[in-house]
Chain A
Amino acid sequence: AQKITQTQPGMFVQEKEAVTLDCTYDTSDPSYGLFWYKQPSSGEMIFLIYQGSYDQQNATEGRYSLNFQKARKSANLVISASQLGDSAMYFCAMKGQPNTGNQFYFGTGTSLTVIP
């Protein structure tokens, strides 16, 4: 069964510092995708970054990078130079192969607060 675990219900970070949000997953699919979404207080779900299980390099998108450790089944999100606007809920999600269902499996989220 597919499963995503986010063990940090809440995190605090000082403005301009870097922060790592943890995500571990469980799957038997040989090919899968890992995603991070941001949900600000306004409620919308914003796609941030994607990592494929066969990608050789960690994904990066601006200040966001994904620390992918396949053997440990972890896909941590790193936000560099935190800004006040980064305060939000962050969700990790996984998608497997079509033959095991096309749905995304979401973690329970981490609430990040950036302190001025």
Chain B
Amino acid sequence: IAGITQAPTSQILAAGRRMTLRCTQDMRHNAMYWYRQDLGLGLRLIHYSNTAGTTGKGEVPDGYSVSRANTDDFPLTLASAVPSQTSVYFCASSVDPAGGAADTQYFGPGTRLTVL
């Protein structure tokens, strides 16, 4: 079934540990995104990639890094996790962000991360 997969589904992590959240899409979309969702704040963009080999910073990039080695995969890394990074993380993809305002984003199931 075409779509976006994320792993792990949930994770409890000690502060200071390194963690990589995985995201894979099989829709051959050009663009991919990482959001975090916190209660009362909606979804906020962490990083994005408009095409393989390129990445950009979103609204809340500090403490996170990404890479886009190929079209399908867009991992998000927390180099040294802190409790404020406790959140639900969503990966999303879209066909072509340069195509204009109609470029719909489709979301993965999310990863619930708790940093203690």
Q: Which residues of A contact B (CB under 8 A)?
A: 4, 29, 31-33, 35, 37, 43-47, 50, 52-53, 91, 93, 95-98, 102-104, 106-109
Contact = CB atoms under 8 A, between A and B. Distances in A.
A97 B58 contact: no
Interface residues of B, number: 29
Contact of A44 (B33, B97, B110): B110
A106 B102 contact: no
Contact of A91 (B42, B48, B92, B98): B42
B55 interface: no
A37 B106 CA distance: 10
B24 interface: no
A43 B109 contact: yes
Contact of B101 (A32, A37, A47, A108): A32
Nearest to A35: B104
B95 to A, nearest CB: 12
A49 to B, nearest CB: 10
B41 A108 contact: yes
Contacts, number: 70
A98 B30 CA distance: 14
Given A44-B107, A44-B110, A102 B31 contact: yes
Given A93-B43, A98-B98, 5 more contacts: A46-B107, A47-B105, A102-B98, A104-B45, A107-B42
Contact of B48 (A96, A103, A108): A103
A104 B105 contact: yes
Contacts of A46: 107
Contact of A103 (B58, B90, B100, B106): B58
A37 B41 CA distance: 15
A50 B92 CA distance: 16
Nearest to A53: B101
A97 B100 contact: yes
A50 B102 contact: yes
Given A107-B42, A109-B42, A102 B102 contact: no
A48 to B, nearest CB: 10
Given A44-B110, A102-B31, A106-B43, A52 B102 contact: yes
A3 B20 CA distance: 30
